[in-house]
Amino acid sequence: MWRRWAVTHALDLMVMAIAYIAAYVLRFNFNVPALYVREGASAFATVVLLQVAALWSCGCYRLLWQFISVCDVARFLRAIGSSTLVLVLLRFLVPEWRGLRPPLSIALLNGVLVLGGLLILRLVWRSFRENGSRSERGEASTSRRTLLIGAGTAGNTVARELRQRGTAALEVVGFLDDDSAKQGTFLQGVPVCGTLADFSRVVHTLRVQEVIVSMVQAPRHVVRQVVHACEAHGVPVRIAPGYSEILDGSVSVNQLREVDIADLLGREEVDLGDVAALARFVGGQRVLITGAGGTIGSELARQVAHLGPETLVLVERSEHALYEIDRAVRRLTPQVVPVVADIGDGVRMRGVLKAHRPQIVLHAAAHKHVPLLESNVTEAVRNNVLATRTLGELAVEAGVRVLVLLSTDKAVHPSSVMGATKRLAELALQDLNAAGRTKFAAVRFGNVLGASGSVVPLFREQIRKGGPLTVTHPDMRRYFMTVPEAVRLVLHAASLAAGGEIFILDMGEPVRIVELAEEMIRLSGFQPYEEMGITYIGMRPGEKLFEELSTDAEHAEKTRHARIFIGKIPVLPRAVVMARLSSLRAGCAQNVTDEEMRAELMRDGVATP
């Protein structure tokens, strides 16, 4: 440590001496009078002592030179500025000390030169260390020539990270950006070489060996364009981390990832809306999440934890899933209470609600695998309908302020057991909303990418095994959204709930499943139908070719959130709802066959759309 400080101070003293001499030489136009030479020599010690003391007091000597950055310049400005101010005050307040401080013009000019010299010295040292590190790793000859797509905040951060701490032997040789104002400019010493239209020329001219999409929330059409262009040129492509990692500067070379199917979907992500509004809604509140170990439930837990709840109660009947999400969320907030419980156990859930007194309940627990539930009808009714009704009744009893049910587009004109049970769950909670003590709402959305039981993990597994990918029908279409989108929608819907609403998300255009399969094959480095096949296996029980999720004026009303609508869905009379629940409860108690339960479940088309 002392050796580093000795070298640091020696180099700084050299810079101070050169700057001091240069100030006199420049002030007197390279002809310094003998009188000022003697006076300057006697005042040098005062100047140096003041400057070194100011650098210490401002923390400049606690900075590591190899990591010096623009944000550290303020420290040096304060240090040299304060020491120069002291010299100026000495000039006016203590005139008899004439021989111990330089003239006013020299003090000011010296301050400017010292500041520049100290910063340049550290930047040169940093550049030397970075280049030396790359040479030690042998990257000069083996680094892959890399093109970054996007010359904005993310592009600058990625380029700096690769240059400073790169371990993947990547050398950034250029940027592409469609902003005309950036053409011909430089970031991190690397030129912006053109727009996406110049991709072929730039890849050929710069001998590009890898491409990285370095944009904050890169538009899907841009990602598709880049992926297809890279495929045509045989160049691998990766994508930078997400929005938050880029903005807080925590991006790492190791976080660069392969382009995923979520990056290529034919729709842009939903507007996530006002995060501050969600923080006001959730912050300081007691929040309970059911099904907290599932795909949606675990993301709900993470996002709620970021919003600063007073307490976050995680209810999950799978011990392992609860352990995993509890461990993950505790990194975000210590106010976590993991609860092993089955929401169908009324006695247990009454105790949980009484003990933790949640103000907001987000109900994500459900059976949701469509084909599987076709042969487990009674269990689907127990868990999706009756347990939801029980939870709602207990929420009213416990004084819960808002309860939001996660529903599905399959509840529209349901043809499957899963859709029918979700529709009846909606009806069961709408009926309870009439009591007025608790606001009940439901959120309908389509398929979630990467969720357990969804088509994307299935396709990934089939690709790993060499194919073929199985698609039920060439015209099968589905709405898709990412997990963060779905979760943010639920939170916004909860904040908008006045009671009794069924919220619907504008999810853009549906995606053909066969096109999804083709894109996933291409992302895996194969050509669909040539190197990996796609097989049609026929529609499964309960499936529809096309799920309905209408947000036009005839079927839905607008909310203040641009992508969230309220479905114009009539509420059934309480007598009808209670009769349906009673018959289903009796069927479960009598352990009727699945076919008998199915007939009761689907009676009257489940009453309403």
Q: Number of folded domains in the chain?
A: 3
More confident: 587 or 445: 587
Q: Are 237 and 146 in contact (CB under 8 A)?
A: no
Nearest to 216 by CA among 148, 265, 163: 148
| Residue 165, φ and ψ in degrees, nearest 5 | -125, 20
More confident: 167 or 3: 3
Residue 268 covered by a domain: no
Residue 484 covered by a domain: yes
SS3 322: helix
Q: Are residues 129 and 152 in the same domain?
A: no
Measured CA to CA, the distance from residue 607 to residue 609 in angstroms comes to 7
Residue 264 covered by a domain: no
Q: Are residues 164 and 37 in the same domain?
A: no
Residue 270 covered by a domain: no
Measured CA to CA, the distance from residue 207 to residue 201 in angstroms comes to 10
| Residue 350, φ and ψ in degrees, nearest 5 | -60, -40
Q: What is the pLDDT of residue 257?
A: 64
Residues 164-189, mean pLDDT to the nearest whole number:
80
Measured CA to CA, the distance from residue 470 to residue 492 in angstroms comes to 36
Residue 269 covered by a domain: no
Per-residue pLDDT tens for 225-269? 888 888 888 888 888 765 444 444 444 445 566 666 666 665 555
Cβ count near 560 (within 10 Å):
10
Q: Are residues 131 and 144 in the same domain?
A: no
Q: Are residues 417 and 303 in the same domain?
A: yes
More confident: 496 or 539: 496
Q: Are residues 15 and 59 in the same domain?
A: yes
Per-residue pLDDT tens for 440-477? 999 988 777 766 666 777 888 888 888 899 998 888 87
Least confident of 6-20, 58-72, 543-557: 543-557
Q: What is the pLDDT of residue 274?
A: 67
SS3 285: coil
Mean pLDDT of the chain: 83
Q: Are residues 37 and 149 in the same domain?
A: no
Q: What is the pLDDT of residue 249?
A: 44
Q: Are residues 82 and 209 in the same domain?
A: no
Residues 195-203, mean pLDDT to the nearest whole number:
92
| Residue 527, φ and ψ in degrees, nearest 5 | -100, 125
Q: Are residues 28 and 163 in the same domain?
A: no
Measured CA to CA, the distance from residue 507 to residue 556 in angstroms comes to 14
> Given the structure tokens 């790993």, which residue do they identify?
464
SS3 106: helix
Tell whether the model's pLDDT for residue 387 goes beyond 90. yes
Q: Are residues 405 and 321 in the same domain?
A: yes
Residue 7 covered by a domain: yes
SS3 373: helix
More confident: 264 or 365: 365
The residue among 86, 119, 135 that closes a domain is: 135
Q: What is the pLDDT of residue 379?
A: 95
More confident: 224 or 267: 224
- For the CA atoms of 596, 597, 599, 603, what is the dihedral angle to 10 degrees? 140
Is the pTM for the entire model greater than 0.85? Answer: no
Q: What is the pLDDT of residue 322?
A: 96
Residue 122 covered by a domain: yes
Q: What is the pLDDT of residue 139?
A: 46
Strands 190-194 and 186-187: antiparallel
Least confident of 70-84, 94-108, 304-318, 335-349: 94-108
Per-residue pLDDT tens for 433-449? 987 789 999 998 877 77
CATH code of 174's domain: 3.40.50.720
Q: Are residues 355 and 482 in the same domain?
A: yes
Q: What is the pLDDT of residue 140?
A: 46
| Residue 496, φ and ψ in degrees, nearest 5 | -90, -15
Q: What is the pLDDT of residue 134?
A: 53
Q: What is the pLDDT of residue 1?
A: 55
Residue 61 covered by a domain: yes
Q: Are residues 324 and 457 in the same domain?
A: yes
Q: Distances in Å between the alpha carbon of 246 and those of 255, 358, 519?
A: 11, 34, 27
Residues 87-116, mean pLDDT to the nearest whole number:
80
User: What domain range is 232 assigned to?
Assistant: 140-259
Beta strands, E only, 76-205: 144-149, 170-176, 186-187, 190-194
The residue among 259, 292, 312 that closes a domain is: 259
* DSSP-assigned beta bridge partners for residue 290: 315, 363
**Vertex 497: Cα angle to 495 and 499 (nearest 5):** 155
Q: Are residues 217 and 119 in the same domain?
A: no
Tell whether the model's pLDDT for residue 92 goes beyond 90. no
Measured CA to CA, the distance from residue 564 to residue 557 in angstroms comes to 9
Tell whether the model's pLDDT for residue 275 goes beyond 50. yes
Q: Are 145 and 173 in contact (CB under 8 A)?
A: yes
Tell whether the model's pLDDT for residue 273 goes beyond 90. no
Q: Which two tokens stand for residue 299?
A: 């993301």
Burial of 529 (0-12, 13-18, 19+ CB in 10 A): exposed
Per-residue pLDDT tens for 541-557? 766 776 666 655 557 67
The residue among 113, 135, 157 that closes a domain is: 135
Q: Which two tokens stand for residue 98?
A: 């004439």
Least confident of 243-247, 311-315, 406-410, 512-516: 243-247
Residues 346-368, mean pLDDT to the nearest whole number:
95
Q: What end-to-end distance do the CA atoms of the chain give, in Å?
A: 74
* 299 pLDDT tier (thresholds 50, 70, 90): very high
Residues 83-99, mean pLDDT to the nearest whole number:
77
Tell whether the model's pLDDT for residue 136 goes beyond 80. no
